[in-house]
Chains A and B, each alone.
Chain A
Amino acid sequence: MRPEFYKVLASPVLWGILILAAPLPFLLPSYYLHIVILSLVYVALASSWNIVGGMAGQISLAHSLFIGTGAMLSTALLLKLGINMWVGLLISAAISAMLAAMIAWIDYRFRLGHLSFVLITLAFAEMGGLVVEGWDFLGGASGLLLPRDTGHFLDFQFGGSHGAFWVMLLLAVVCVLVNVAILNAPLGYYLRTIRDNENAARAIGVNVLRYKVAAMVISAVLASIVGTAYVRYLTFADPYLLISPVITIEIVLFATVGGLGSAFGPALGALLLVPLGEILRGQLGGVLPGLHYFIYGIVVIAVILITPQGLLPLFERLWKRRPGAAATRPPTVAP
Chain B
Amino acid sequence: MALLEVEKVTKRFGGLVALNDVSFSVAQGEILGIIGPNGAGKTTLFSAISGFAPPSSGDVRFDGTSIVGVLPDRLVRRGLIRSFQIVQTFADMTTLDVVTTAALTRRPIREAIDYAAHVLGRVGLAGKEHLTPLTLSLQDKKLLELAKCLATDPRCILLDEVMAGLTMAETDKPIAVVRELNRQGVTIVMVEHVMPVIMQLATRMVVINFGEKIAEGSPADIVKDQHVIDAYFGEHLDA
Interface residues of A (CB under 8 A from B): 1-3, 184-186, 189-190, 192-193, 195-197, 199-208, 261
Q: Which of B84-130 contact A (CB under 8 A)?
A: 84, 88-93, 97-98, 100-102, 104-105, 109-110, 112-113
Expressed in whole angstroms, the minimum distance between the Cβ of A180 and any Cβ of chain B is 14
In angstroms, Cα B148 to Cα A189, docked, is 14
- Grouping DSSP codes into helix (H, G, I), strand (E, B) and loop, the B interface class, with mixed when no group exceeds half, is helix
A203–B100 CB distance below 8 A: no
A189–B76 CB distance below 8 A: no
B71–A192 CB distance below 8 A: no
- Grouping DSSP codes into helix (H, G, I), strand (E, B) and loop, the A interface class, with mixed when no group exceeds half, is helix
Expressed in whole angstroms, the minimum distance between the Cβ of B212 and any Cβ of chain A is 27
A-B pairs, top 4 by smallest CB distance, nearest first, are: A200-B88, A205-B76, A196-B90, A205-B105
Report which of A2, A195, A203 forms a contact with B76, defined as CB distance below 8 A. A203
Q: Hey, which chain A residues are within 8 Å of B110, CB to CB?
A: 2-3
Q: Hey, which chain A residues are within 8 Å of B90, CB to CB?
A: 192-193, 196-197, 200
A203–B82 CB distance below 8 A: yes
Expressed in whole angstroms, the minimum distance between the Cβ of B44 and any Cβ of chain A is 15
B73–A196 CB distance below 8 A: no
Q: Hey, which chain B residues are within 8 Å of A189, CB to CB?
A: 97, 100-101, 104, 109
A192–B82 CB distance below 8 A: no
Q: Hey, which chain A residues are within 8 Å of B100, CB to CB?
A: 189
Interface residues of B (CB under 8 A from A): 50, 52, 71-74, 76-77, 81-82, 84, 88-93, 97-98, 100-102, 104-105, 109-110, 112-113, 148, 151-152
Q: Hey, which chain B residues are within 8 Å of A1, CB to CB?
A: 109
Residue of B nearest to A195 (CB): B92
In angstroms, Cα B71 to Cα A205, docked, is 9
Q: Hey, which chain B residues are within 8 Å of A185, CB to CB?
A: 109
Known pairs A2-B109, A2-B110, A189-B109 / 17 extra A-B pairs, C-beta < 8 Å = A2-B113, A3-B110, A184-B109, A186-B104, A189-B97, A193-B98, A196-B92, A197-B88, A202-B52, A203-B52, A204-B101, A204-B105, A204-B151, A205-B73, A207-B71, A207-B73, A208-B73
Q: Hey, which chain B residues are within 8 Å of A197, CB to CB?
A: 88-90
Report which of A186, A195, A199 forms a contact with B52, defined as CB distance below 8 A. A199
In angstroms, Cα B72 to Cα A185, docked, is 22
A206–B52 CB distance below 8 A: no
A203–B97 CB distance below 8 A: no
Q: Name 8 interchain pairs, CB-CB below 8 A, sorted by A.
A: A197-B89, A202-B52, A203-B81, A203-B82, A204-B81, A204-B152, A205-B73, A207-B73
In angstroms, Cα B50 to Cα A261, docked, is 31
In angstroms, Cα B77 to Cα A205, docked, is 6
Residue of A nearest to B88 (CB): A200
A203–B88 CB distance below 8 A: yes
